[in-house]
Amino acid sequence: MKHLESVEQFNELKDNEQVIFIFSAGWCPDCRVIEPVLPEIEDAYPQYQFVEVNRDEFIEVCQEHDIFGIPSFLAFTDGKEAGRFVSKDRKTKEEIEQFIDGLTA
C-alpha cells in the first residue's frame, strides 16, 4: 500500500484516480487491529488505489475533509467524494468491505 507523501499527491490522486484514503496513525491501536487484513482488502478491490494517510503528518488534510476519528476511510472517484467511513470506532474487515461495496462509482 502506498503512503501519502505530500498534500499535492493527495490532490492529484483525489482528482484523477479511483482512490481510497485510509487515515491512520502509528499510535492508534484500532488502526493496528485492521492492518493485517488491509492487503486482502486491497487485493479484493483492484479497481481502487489504496493510500495510507498518516493523520499526524497530514492533520490539515484531515481537518479539510472532516476526519475526526481514525481509522477512517475516504473514497474519491474523478475528484468527487464517492463515500466515507469516518468514525473513531474500531472497524472490522466485513464493515470495511461493506463500505467499499456500497461506494458510488
Residue numbers annotated as active site: 28, 31
* Burial of 59 from C-beta contacts in 10 A (0-12 / 13-18 / 19+): exposed
Give the Cα separation of 53 and 86 in Å (integer): 14
